[in-house]
Chains A and B, each alone.
Chain A
Amino acid sequence: MHIAEGFLPAGHAAGWTIAAAPFVVHGARAVVKEVRENPESTLLLGAAGAFTFVLSAIKLPSAIGESSSHPTGTGPGAILFRPPVMALLGTVVLLFQALLLAHGGVTTLGANAFAFAVVGPWAGYAAYRSIRGVGAGLLPAVFAAVALADLATYATTSLQLALAFPDAESGFAGALLKFLGIFALTQIPLAIGEGLLGVLLFRVLTVNARPELERLGVLEPAPLTTTGGAA
């Protein structure tokens, strides 16, 4: 998902930066508002940021394609606090990696933020809402949302690269298939693993952070019987 420094033509780099900027600014305001209005959210907000910080630092081998890649970890934050919050937290992670790790870059920060911190969280959140909407339980929705946030990020990166580097013969479509071939297949086992980690996280949260999850609308205010059964 990290398009390397200088690897997008200047026009594309500028275009994606302009596209991502309003989401990040809006996200920053969403974070400030959340912390100001619900100071008790700060702990969970930290957990959401920490989750994406850990996961995006780890390079995991993939069962498909004999290559390795990073998970994203943006799904849980999008479920808990809605996607705008992740636009800021995700961009902070990318900035850290661009400045200190030479991973991604300043010129490609806009494009990477758009894929990682905007499209990924929104795709995950959309999956979460639609699966909960048809009456499914929390954990299946979490699994799908976290996995899809990961996959959607890499699909967006492939799209960005295909727009910038259309194939000489097969054009945009050919280039998109080529870049999806590099990213998407490798990413499938990672997305599944990340989805399982998301389920583990929410299993812990449903027991230990029940009041917060109820306030955030993730869990229904439960009658006493289920509270006892969950422990």
Chain B
Amino acid sequence: MSRRTLVTALLVLAVVALFAVPLLLDGGTSEYGGTDAAVTEELEAEGYRPWFDSLFSPSGEVESGLFALQAALGGGVLGYVLGRLRGRRSTTPAAAAGAGAQ
């Protein structure tokens, strides 16, 4: 394994560990409520009432799906771009190797 591959693997591992370890440590007892919701709860507890409602409020299940859709769109585009950039490099080795020389 080249040094570059090793560093990439370690970086990915660090990101996964950063979010997986807390989940494992508390054994699934915590709800992990969102901070955005914590603020609205806090304000409502103080007596604030929102003066405008969302134009469209999907149900919880639909909302999860739409969030997944957002992530899928972003991930798809990101993968497409990185794939094209990589494909360009491997099909035109002269362009990549010679980029600094021209």
Q: What is A's interface to B at a CB cutoff of 8 Å?
A: 1-7, 9-10, 43-44, 46-47, 49-63, 66-70, 96-103, 105-107, 154, 161, 165, 178-179, 182-183, 186-187, 189, 192-193, 196-197, 199-200, 203-205, 207-211, 214, 221-224, 227-228
Candidates B33, B76, B78; contact of A67 at CB < 8 Å: B33
> Is chain A's interface secondary structure helix, strand, loop, or mixed overall?
helix
Contact: A209 with B85, CB < 8 Å?
A: yes
Given A1-B36, A165-B43, A182-B35; A57-B70 close (CB under 8 Å): yes
Find out whether the CB atom of B96 lies under 8 angstroms from the CB atom of A102: no
> In the assembled complex, which residues on chain A have CB atoms less than 8 Å from the CB atom of B52?
5-6, 105-107
Question: Bound complex: CA of A43 vs CA of B84, how far in Å?
Answer: 9
Q: Which residue of B lies closest to A47 (CB)?
A: B81
B9 to chain A, nearest CB (A): 11
Would A189 and B18 be within 8 Å (CB), given that A61-B23, A161-B39, A208-B85 are in contact?
Answer: yes
Q: Are A227 and B81 in contact (CB under 8 A)?
A: no
**A44: chain B residues within 8 A (beta carbon):** 81
* A168 CB to nearest chain B CB (Å): 9
**Min CB distance, A175 to chain B, in Å?**
10
Which B positions have Cβ atoms within 8 angstroms of A?
7-8, 11-12, 14-15, 18-19, 21-23, 26, 30-36, 38-40, 42-43, 46, 48, 50-58, 63, 66-68, 70-71, 73-78, 80-82, 84-86, 88-89, 95-97, 99-101
Chain A hits for B85, CB < 8 A: 43, 204-205, 208-209
13 example contacts (A-B, Cβ-Cβ < 8 A) are as follows A3-B36, A5-B52, A10-B51, A44-B81, A51-B78, A61-B19, A66-B22, A106-B52, A106-B55, A182-B42, A183-B35, A186-B35, A203-B8
Contact B11 A196 (CB under 8 A): yes
Partner of A59, one of B34, B81, B96: B34
Closest B residue to A108 using CB positions: B52
Partner of A69, one of B30, B35, B48: B35
A68 B34 Cβ-Cβ under 8 A: yes
B18 with A208: CB separation less than 8 A: no
Contacting pair A61 B99 (CB below 8 A): no
Residue of B nearest to A210 (CB): B99
Please report the C-alpha to C-alpha distance between residue A110 and residue B48 in the assembled complex, in whole angstroms: 20
Q: In the bound complex, do residue A50 and residue B74 qualify as a contact, i.e. CB atoms below 8 Å apart?
A: yes
Q: B56 to chain A: which residues have CB within 8 Å?
A: 99-100, 102
| Chain A hits for B8, CB < 8 A | 200, 203
